[in-house]
A and B are shown apart, each in its own frame.
Chain A
Amino acid sequence: MNKIAEKYSGDIEKIIAKYPPEQKRSAVMSLLYIAQREDGYVTKHDINEIAEILEMTPTEVVALVGFYTLYHDKQDGKYRIQVCNDLPCALRGADEFLENLCENLGIQVGDTTEDGLVSVEGVMCLAACDKAPMFQVQTGDGLKYHEEMTVENTMELIESWKKEEKK
């Protein structure tokens, strides 16, 4: 059963067309993002399928999932809050923000809330150092920046996701 190849065939064709015909492999990074659309992480099945489409070995694809931080091989929160607490942001209160946010959610940094909705982790510079505290939210559908945040408006944002889920 070819899950992504069927469901996203149009997208996949377009991506492969960006590169020379004999260099299909260049499409692998985009295809891994497509795989994450389904479950928020890359499954073993996805790996085999991508390898087949791009004429790579599954081992080669697995190595990429391990190397790049935006690919995940296991299910965490549906919304991954990635708070930048690298040096420039930390000079503007990012460590305190991260700690307070986790305390409010009743989790440790790096963990997921009990309902499986939200994970929170600290990450490296996101090229928004003048807008600390800031974080990005990664879901299967992509990434979104939230800049100059407070714990209060972050909690409101999380509430809005909860409502979205109940619909």
Chain B
Amino acid sequence: MTELVLLRHREIPKINQLDVYKKNGGFEAFEKVVTSMKPDEVTEIVKTSGLRGRGGAGFPTGVKWSFMDNNNWPHYVVANADESEPGTFKDREIMESNPFQFLEGVAIASYAVGATEAYVYCRGEFWELTHVLDEKIAELEEAGLLGDNLFGTEYSLRIYTHLGAGAYICGEETALLESMEGKRGQPRLRPPFPPSYGLYGKPTVVNNVETLTNVPLIITKGGEWYKSLGTEDTAGVKVFSLSGRVKKPGNYELPFGTSFRELIFEHGGGIIDDRPVRAIMAAGASSALIVAEDKALDTPMDYASVRELKADLGSASIIVIDDTVSIDWVLKKTIHFFEHESCGKCTPCREGNYWMNHIIERIHGGDATHDDVELLDSVAKQIENKCLCALGEFSIQAVMTGIERFPQDFEIAVKN
């Protein structure tokens, strides 16, 4: 078996303790960059690695870092630990069990963009975890791995946690920055993007927890090494959060390009009671519904291949649906989520989700006709492309593909 890159606590017991992490090479990469490399050289290695953001959008990480506006200071790094997409629970495991590798990733990113202050924005529900992270950060300061004049150089860095308070939209990077500024978490109009106008109006890199946790090993082993993992389209490894009707739900670190079939049937142990798998959501509740036929199951999980199924891999949160539930029930759940989480800033998203929620309640409750299914579809289409942020688009993915790809479920729902 190849060595794990992210979930290393599964191979190295107690890697959440600083002495153990250091014994296994921890903070050598950070020391190396601070003492012997220019910030741009660090960014170049990350560019070479092909690392793309793991928060859902898949934007090349090194390219993002190189966009930082060098005529406006100070610079900030913010780690996005808001992890609230239904079906996603990887960042939590990484921070709980391999926290120092994550923090070293934050530190290297900060050096690369010249930030002397970095924040970790944790969703409010990660209360206990955030307090543990505070302790880990304090340990690093005591050990001289964070603080002033690191490794005898001019470079200083402090990392702080910031606790959110329950709002999915705060995972969207500009809403997150608003929230950090003590405002309601509502997305900003973009452009400008955070690398030119971010936290307090200063250039800011926002990266997902998993993205940053890749960085220390990329520095140690090189960009080419990382690029050799995964597929041509999508380099590297990914923590796939597998949930729903499988025997063994959980996080699985695998190279990009692993098939849905391997994830669900080998790693996940197959479907509960060996029932047939009907549908797959690949990016949590924000996903299109993929019909789980052979062609789909054999599709390699990288960004380009999943797009061929008219779906997105997003954060790679794989929700597995069997024949014990109906698709109208699935939509009831996803619509309820988005109706609750819409920040209310734009009318199509706010009102559209409100109406979709009413209509799906009727359909699932058996009080609807075929016209209501068409109405649901048309409300979804009125939300399409009319929203300030991606949440609006996310909210209609399952609705439109559910109605289109599983018409029989809706026929049954309206017949009764």
Contacts and interface: CB of A to CB of B under 8 A. Distances in A.
Contacts of B340: 124
A68 B250 contact: no
Nearest to B325: A91
Contact of B124 (A20, A143, A144): A143
Interface stretch (B31-39, B158-166, B369-377, B405-413): B158-166
Contacts of A25: 181-183
A149 interface: no
Nearest to B89: A127
A63 B84 CA distance: 22
Interface string A68-88: 111100000000000000111
A95 to B, nearest CB: 9
B83 A127 contact: yes
Interface stretch (A5-13, A26-34, A110-118, A155-163): A26-34
A23 B200 CA distance: 8
B85 A125 contact: yes
B92 A127 contact: yes
A130 B267 CA distance: 14
B133 interface: no
Interface in B150-204: 160, 162-168, 179-185, 200
A87 B319 contact: yes
B300 interface: no
A56 B183 CA distance: 11
B184 A64 contact: yes
B21 to A, nearest CB: 23
Given A33-B163, A68-B166, A130-B242, A88 B184 contact: no
Interface stretch (B330-338, B346-354, B358-366): B330-338
A18 interface: yes
Contacts of A56: 182
Contact of B167 (A32, A63, A67, A125): A67
Contacts of B127: 142-144
Contacts of A91: 243-245, 319-321, 325
A92 interface: yes
A56 B244 CA distance: 44
Interface in B122-140: 123-128
B180 A26 contact: yes
Contact of B86 (A20, A71, A125): A125
A126 B118 CA distance: 25
B125 A70 contact: yes
B16 interface: no
B285 A32 contact: no
B241 interface: yes
Nearest to A95: B333
A32 B241 CA distance: 32
A103 to B, nearest CB: 21
A70 B165 contact: yes
Contacts of A124: 84, 86, 168, 337, 340-341
Interface string B227-250: 000000000000001111100011
Contacts of B180: 26
A30 B128 CA distance: 14
Nearest to B86: A125
Contact of A68 (B91, B124, B320): B124
A121 B315 CA distance: 28
A128 interface: yes
Contacts of A120: none
B87 A125 contact: yes
A70 B86 CA distance: 18
A26 B184 contact: no
Interface of B: 83-89, 91-92, 123-128, 160, 162-168, 179-185, 200, 241-245, 249-251, 285, 319-321, 325, 330, 333-334, 337, 340-341
26 contacts: A18-B162, A23-B200, A29-B124, A29-B163, A29-B179, A33-B165, A56-B182, A64-B182, A67-B185, A68-B124, A68-B185, A70-B124, A71-B165, A86-B337, A87-B333, A87-B337, A91-B319, A91-B321, A91-B325, A92-B245, A127-B83, A127-B91, A128-B89, A129-B249, A130-B241, A130-B243
Interface of A: 18, 20, 23, 25-30, 32-33, 54, 56, 60, 63-64, 67-71, 86-88, 90-92, 124-130, 136, 142-145
Top 8 closest pairs, chain A to chain B, by CB: A68-B165, A69-B166, A25-B182, A130-B249, A125-B86, A88-B243, A143-B127, A70-B166
